[in-house]
Amino acid sequence: MLQLKGVSKSYDRGKTWAVDNLNLEINSGEIFGFLGPNGAGKTTTLRTIVGLLPPDRGTIVFDGIDVWKKPLVAKRRISFLPDNPNIYDRLTGLEYVRFIADVYGVPAKERRERLERLLHIFDMAAAAPDLIKSYSHGMRQKIALIAALIPQPDLLVLDEPITGLDPRSVHLFKNLLHEHCRAGGTVFFSTHILDVAERLCDRVGIIRKGRLIACGTMEQLRRDRMADTTLETLFLELTESEAETTETETEAEAGKREREKERSREDK
């Protein structure tokens, strides 16, 4: 189980908070989708989990391990895919995957089986011996994904993993994630593609200006809103208003009230 308790992160020493007192629990075997407008703080949150950004406040605990107190133990069980596949582009795909497999200590047999399978799934077998520099954007994304999957970590942290993938790869990728979770693994990923999130995720969280404004299964969200809507409508409603809200009232409600007030002021 991944627990974020009161996580906050500021890039300007506390003037504004990219992530603001975030509390989240993600259960083992769960696929959790992290949604939010641009600049909401998704990437920042993911980076604090994988050890790239020390949070200014709060703790992040994975299966009882505080990821900032025992980084190595945690890292052995976590894989990360960044939002732009910025990897050693002067290595070949195979060299990069080998490096990752080496540092995660993947044994020879598993390494071979997984690699063959992943290369086949993502149709990268032919390109793997080439320099990553010569890859297209999507191919880079794929090799970075393969590298993230090859250690078969307990927790996969993926920042917009499907942007840039072709439909076939997206389809196979979704199957991979399901499989990963069936085997007890956890997936925490951010995305902007709502219908993927809707169909793939066990639960979703929506973040706006660093604060979690909604979190739960699709069912729960719908029930809260008392409407049988799609995630897209939900998302649009939730993230629409500009008003600041407390955690008990949702953004959209506050927004509506704000607009009504304005209207009534204008009427007068």
Partner 1 sequence: MKIFLILLGVFLKQQFGLSAAYDRYVRRKEALWQPFLALAGFIGVGYLLLTFYLRLLNSLHNVSVQLNQPGMIVLLGFLLAQMIVLVFGLFYLISIFYFSHDLELLVPLPIPPQIILGAKLGLVVISEYLTVIPLTLPPLIIYGLKQEAGLLYWLLSPIIMLLLPLLPLGLAGIAIVLLMRFTRLAHRPDTVRVILMLIFFGITIAVSSISAFFDSRGVVPDEVARLLSGGPNSLLSIVGRRFPPALWGALALVEPGAKAGLNLAMFLLITALSLAGLWFVARHSFYQGLLGSGAVPKKKSRQASGPLEREMLISPRPVLAALVSREWLLIIRNPIFAMTAAQALIIPPLLLFIAVISGNSLAQLRQLAALPEFQLWGTLGFAGLVAINPIIASIPATAISREGMLFWISQVIPVAPRIQLLAKLVFTLVIAAVIGALMAVVLIPLGLPAKAAGIGLILGIIFAVPLAALSIAVDTLWPRLNWVSPQQAMKGNTNNLIVMALIAGLAYLLIRAALFMNKSGWDMSYIISAMGIIFLLLGVGAIAVMYRLAPLLYLQQSFGIGKGAETTAPARVRDGGKLRIRFSLWDLFYRYGRIILTGLTIIGLAIFLGREFIMGVTLEYEFGPDYVKFQNVVIPYEELVEVRLLEEVPPLSNRVGTSIGNYRSGTFTVEGIGRGRVVADDRTKPALVLFTNKGFYIITPDNAAERYKEIMEKTERMAE
Ligand X SMILES: Nc1ncnc2c1ncn2[C@@H]1O[C@H](COP(=O)(O)OP(=O)(O)OP(=O)(O)O)[C@@H](O)[C@H]1O
Residues making contact with partner 1 (CB under 8 A): 10-15, 47, 50-54, 56-57, 71-72, 75-76, 78-80, 82, 86-88, 90-92, 94-95, 97-108, 111-112, 115-116, 119, 125-126, 128-131, 133-134
Query: Is there binding between residue 18 and ligand X (CB under 6 A)?
Result: yes
Site size with ligand X, rule: CB under 6 A: 11
Query: Is there binding between residue 44 and ligand X (CB under 6 A)?
Result: yes
Query: Is there binding between residue 52 and ligand X (CB under 6 A)?
Result: no
Nearest CA to 1 out of 72, 50, 76, 62 is that of 62
Q: Least CB distance from residue 249 to Mg ion, whole Å?
A: 26
Residues 58-97, mask of contacts with Mg ion (x by CB under 5 A): -------------------------x--------------
Q: Least CB distance from residue 248 to ligand X, whole Å?
A: 23
Q: Which one among 8, 22, 32, 42 touches ligand X, defined by CB under 6 A?
A: 42
Nearest 5°: phi and psi at 98? -65, -45
Task: Tell me the residue length of the chain.
Answer: 268
Q: Is the dihedral of CA 188, 232, 39, 263 positive or negative?
A: negative
Site residues (CB under 6 A) for ligand X, limited to 70-99: 83
Q: Which one among 26, 40, 119, 218 touches ligand X, defined by CB under 6 A?
A: 40
Helix (H, G, I), strand (E, B) or coil at 173: helix
Site residues (CB under 6 A) for ligand X, limited to 222-261: none
Q: What is the largest CA-CA distance in the chain?
A: 76
Contact partner, 100, from partner 1, ligand X, Mg ion, none, Cβ < 5-8 Å per class: partner 1
Q: Report the C-alpha gap between 140 and 224 in whole angstroms.
A: 40
Instruction: For residue 95, give Cα distances in angstroms to 87, 116, 147.
Output: 12, 15, 10
Q: Least CB distance from residue 69 to ligand X, whole Å?
A: 23
Q: Least CB distance from residue 28 to ligand X, whole Å?
A: 25
Q: Least CB distance from residue 220 to ligand X, whole Å?
A: 22
Residue closest to Mg ion (Cβ): 43
Nearby residues of 124 by Cβ (< 8 Å), 6 or more positions away: 93, 118, 139, 142, 143, 146
92 near 141, Cβ under 8 Å?
A: no
Query: Is there binding between residue 43 and Mg ion (CB under 5 A)?
Result: yes
Nearest CA to 3 out of 40, 52, 58, 42 is that of 58
The string of DSSP letters for 179-219 reads HHHHTT-EEEEE-S-HHHHHHH-SEEEEEETTEEEEEE-HH
* CA 213 to mean position of chain CA atoms: 16
Q: Which one among 24, 26, 35, 36 touches ligand X, defined by CB under 6 A?
A: 36
- Note the residues at the interface with Mg ion (CB under 5 A): 43, 83
- Note the residues at the interface with ligand X (CB under 6 A): 11, 18, 36, 38-44, 83
